[in-house]
Amino acid sequence: MPKPPLTLRLCGPRGFCAGVDRAIQIVVLALKEHGAPVYVRHEIVHNRYVVEGLEAKGAIFVKELHEIPPEHHAQPVIFSAHGVPKSVPEDAELRKLFYLDATCPLVSKVHKQAMRHQRLGRHVVLIGHAGHPEVIGTMGQLPEGSVSLVETVEDAAVYMPPDPDNLGFVTQTTLSVDDTKGVILKLMERFPNLTAPAADSICYATTNRQEAVKQAAPGCDAFLIVGAPNSSNSRRLVEVALKAGAKQSVLVQRAYEIDWETMRGVRTVGISAGASAPEVIVNEIIEAFRERFDATVELADTVEETENFLVSRELRHVPLTTADMAFVNGD
């Protein structure tokens, strides 16, 4: 029987952002320069495919620094792209570990914005999700008690600061742009003297991916977001697709997770990928649809991203092969 026709509306930009690309490069370059093992505190980015690929190359992922055996203290340990509290590099120095910081420069910018608020005598309001590594890292830049976490508009409506006239806010970089606006508006309504950061905290990649999904979602019978369940920016894309008009939207890590029963009768399917999801998985999912449908790919591009973040100075002299670059780029 002939395959049913299907339009795959492929969003762009999608997938790896400059911060993720830089973090993966740092691990690959450290392995080339220092040999295995190279230790990484927490997942370098929130994607199992990437983590397992780095493990195959010789990276060892640990939850905390004390898990690194003494005989390997001369080997590099790398901090993830999400950022870490100040206590982590302090602990590394006490243990005489050689560490490399893969924190995304845009997350580091939020750290600096929060510290500036605090230095100028403001209590810091951090808009973000409790327990997310980036939130833990940002709160860990400041003295205990000098920052409060607000997650929702409802939280903002009941938040009671120590000094309502001396407040400054920053946000997690991977939030929903629209939802965050609502939280900020509620805070500003209650605290007119609330000071914004010098620049928007939500990163360009989060904003661009959400805007692309928002434009592509109307008319989609289903929308697939490639990403991990613990990836904040990927989960926000699922929400954005539903709010923008997709009839259903789901998060999948690989093609085998697609529930094909829910794809019966679909004619237009949107596809995007969170900032930690490699392009190779997007291609895998497109091929899975082509096996079942007469699929036509329609590009839904919005802006072209040209951002590039330099890796740590200690690694800039290490060359990358074509195969290395393909892995780093998620191809």
Pair of tokens at residue 237: 């894309």
Pair of tokens at residue 321: 């092969």
Angle between helices 177-190 and 232-243 (to 10 degrees): 90
DSSP bridge partners of 40: 61, 78
Strands annotated E in 87-157? 98-101, 123-127, 147-150
Q: Are 65 and 89 in contact (CB under 8 A)?
A: no
Alpha-carbon span 222 to 9, nearest angstrom: 10
- In Å, how far are 43, 57, 80, 104, 132 from 230, measured between CA atoms? 11, 23, 14, 17, 8
Alpha-carbon span 140 to 107, nearest angstrom: 13
Residue 189 annotated to the active site: no
Of the candidates 90, 134, 144, 279, the residue annotated as catalytic is: 134
Amino acid at 24: I
Amino acid at 236: R
Which residues are known to be catalytic?
134
